[in-house]
Amino acid sequence: MANPLYQKHIISISDFSRSELELIIDTAVKLKTQPHPDLLKGQVVASCFFEASTRTRLSFETAIQRLGGSVIGFSDSASTSLAKKGETLADSVKVISSYGDAFVMRHPQEGAARLASEFSSVPVINAGDGSNQHPTQTLLDLFTIYETQGTLQGLTIAFVGDLKYGRTVHSLTQALSLFGCKFYFIAPKALSMPDYLCDELTEKGINFEICDSMEEVMDELDIIYMTRVQKERFDETEYVHVASKYVLTPEVLEGAKDSLKILHPLPRIDEIAIEVDDTPYAYYFEQAENGVYARQALLALVLNENI
């Protein structure tokens, strides 16, 4: 039977069922231990980044090449006909998708990946659209949580920092809501979790609380998911009011479970003190490496009917 992700657009984490997420995690576990250099042999993937990226672009491109595929695309849209000659996104997508077997796209506008999927002749994979969704980050976050905790079921997770603009938080809470987890949301008031997402969690009967500090819940936590305040989405005066309110230091971690792990989609600014890197709780660099395996798993499933 064909795998359910074959030739599917990957736009929002809410498009996945629990069993599809589990399939991707199982495939990532296998690919991490048993490399498969031929799974994308002969396939070309377009990697088009209209917005800055380090981890997402490079881990996608590593994933493609380690599976035997090849990459076309750009890391800076400034030299494209869209930016320089007024070509529409729709026309650009029609043309680029005719050159490849899949189309990975990051774009600063919410909804851009969904729009691209309407004009692409091959599967579109959303590598982040504005402050909306970042589904492949969520796949690597789920894989990393599973790797560190041995399960996704019934965990207690604190999300800290910019929960308003943090697209990784939006996607991850939606995914973890399929696994009966409990959430604590810890953010400056101006950056709290959007109402529509809280309403969605309430409708699903998910247990969540809004808290003022990490210390008050530290001893309950399996995962702390830190995020940076997204400076690029503020003007300077607004930014200084919300930056650096929540900083994770070794002192804040007192009373944590031995099995606690700290995740962060990166880049970090100052919200995790450098000294935390040397504690057994830090797992954010391993998390970034897991981006290769999670994206390998996704590409292998989207581009192979049977694997």
Q: Is the dihedral of CA 190, 196, 201, 205 positive or negative?
A: positive
Structure tokens at 127: 């590598």
- Comparing C-alpha atoms, which of 21, 60, 264 is closest to residue 146? 21
Number of residues that bind ligand CP (CB under 6 A): 8
Residues 250-279 that bind ligand CP (CB under 6 A): 265-266
Decide if residue 76 touches ligand CP (CB under 6 A): no
Using CB under 6 A, which of 18, 38, 54, 190 touches ligand CP?
54
| Cα–Cα distance measured from residue 99 to residue 205, given in angstroms and rounded to the nearest whole number | 45
From 8, 9, 27, 56, the catalytic residue: 56
Q: Is the dihedral of CA 173, 186, 288, 251 positive or negative?
A: negative
Decide if residue 53 touches ligand CP (CB under 6 A): yes
Under the phi-then-psi rule, with left for phi > 0, alpha for psi from -120 to 50, and beta for the rest, what region is 22?
alpha
84 labelled catalytic: no
Q: Residue 232 CB, nearest distance to ligand CP (Å)?
A: 11
106 labelled catalytic: yes
| Cα–Cα distance measured from residue 25 to residue 213, given in angstroms and rounded to the nearest whole number | 32
What amino acid is encoded at 150 in this protein?
Answer: G
The Cα-based distances of 232 to 76, 228, 241, 265, 284 in angstroms read: 17, 11, 14, 16, 22
Binding string, residues 121-160; x marks residues near ligand CP by CB under 6 A: -------x--------x-----------------------
85 labelled catalytic: yes
Q: Of the ranges 53-61, 92-100, 147-155, 252-260, which one interacts with ligand CP (CB under 6 A)?
A: 53-61
The H or E element that residue 51 is part of is none
Decide if residue 161 touches ligand CP (CB under 6 A): no
Q: Residue 25 CB, nearest distance to ligand CP (Å)?
A: 18
36 labelled catalytic: no
Q: Of the ranges 18-26, 49-57, 203-211, 273-281, which one interacts with ligand CP (CB under 6 A)?
A: 49-57
Give the neighbor-by-neighbor strand order of the sheet with 102-107.
70-74, 44-49, 102-107, 124-129
144 labelled catalytic: no
Decide if residue 75 touches ligand CP (CB under 6 A): no
- Comparing C-alpha atoms, which of 82, 81, 63, 83 is closest to residue 71? 63
Q: Of the ranges 4-12, 28-36, 47-55, 170-178, which one interacts with ligand CP (CB under 6 A)?
A: 47-55
What amino acid is encoded at 24 in this protein?
Answer: I
Decide if residue 55 touches ligand CP (CB under 6 A): yes
**Residues designated as active site:** 55-56, 85, 106, 134
* Residues within the interface to ligand CP (CB under 6 A): 53-56, 128, 137, 265-266
